[in-house]
Structure 1
């Protein structure tokens, strides 16, 4: 039997208990729980999450308590904590989210004061000096106020053209000629092994050799490669995730040049990441760090490169390499 840990969560539903009870059983089944049993007399429903494949393993017990015309939904989760999934994400929280997501489609969930306050802070951070973010493409999860604040402080006079947020793992912000990976906030900085401080790392485009994605069935990691941060041919990012946050040098949550991204998050971000790769390639051409070069055609860039060759500023091999990189970006 796996080692388990118990946790509790609760939310309130704007419906009487008699209407809520049938939805609980249906929501558990739709969420993928097995052996769902209901006890109408005690207003309790139990379900197990024990798939043949995958690492998420546990069970949920839901108890309903009437609160006038509303209902308090008390959820007790008991999930396995001795596997890779438990190291990268709280499995009890994941089981709770699976259930709550299905319930929210059936009944109106009353948001707690803490949830409303968190949304208010994030919305305020996003709209504070809102024109600063006019040219930013937000991709992925809703950015945290902490990450927005860090990026705003780092570049007060330049907004990022891309802001990619990964759930519970951090964010990537790309500017004209550099990008930063931000791992800040209580949960994210804990996963990064630097609780209370967070980690923010800057990478200049000319220094980046590649952007690599290593995906598995349910997880993956985006890696920024530079001469200082080599590739992952001989690494197993997930080998050390059952150890402490700083115990393994391959842990994608602690490394400064990585951003854990699920396959679905990566697919959503791929068009912008390809654009980022193109900008990095162009930055390595003569004059490639000039801002506002987006309107210069590849043909014009090749002509400029040929002029440098004719003037003896670059040799034939440098010209051929630069031309190859420009054409590969078409």
Structure 2
């Protein structure tokens, strides 16, 4: 996880006694530009203390995307009909508001692919979080009518569009207790207690599919038939009605109850657009020329992932271009 990387870097800084100073709860308000070059940052701490941070070699923007900025989402969106409003949750922290993109734009930076916003197909309808799920993301999906409607192993954008098209924009992930990735301590794959998940009403558990449907508000007759057809596919390995190529072991539902149904909806996950950079991680202006002293890495940049970022690629994006930026500006 992200915490693991950050902890590793902090420990390395400590072990090597590197001259690194961290200013927490401190907002970068503006970039300092001298003689056409980015030469530092104007910042202010939460307690009001103001800082002038002079940069002899350069400034690296690593401020992330704008997944939590509703205004920016709908201003730039080209994929979702500008319907990513307040009712559309996000998996991101509240701090993912695109501030770094705005700072760079003010300094003359060009922006690219800002309209390409990725939705995670399965999130909490209220918070957007994925941590309360029971089962795999690719377990079968059913709507309130108890029917499947998509190949659950499809691309994230395909799944998100199909999920949003269901009644209320919500759907259920169905799994059996034996396949729900619950450990010996009763926690799911994210370390959340299953008892807490069930108590919150975000997931339902029952010994039979009929009881599960009643608890979750799903058409019971259709759910039973849907699971029956799914089990037949898992047994034969061919002929899935939604075109899935295989039934992996973690997705089987033919071993009996208890069963889980988790209510989910798509949530804003990653903004693929951002500041334009070159292979040296240098920020470019609207004319495609280098802005001296300004570098960027990670989700604050655009032009890396296309319209649909492949899962897990955001981490190497940030790490690789962060290192490239550092190596270039100290030359």
Where relative contact order (Cα < 8 A, 6+ residues apart) is larger, the structure is: 2
Q: TM-score normalised to the size of structure 1? A: 0.19
Please identify the structure whose Cα radius of gyration is greater. 1
Bigger strand share: 1
Bigger helix share: 1
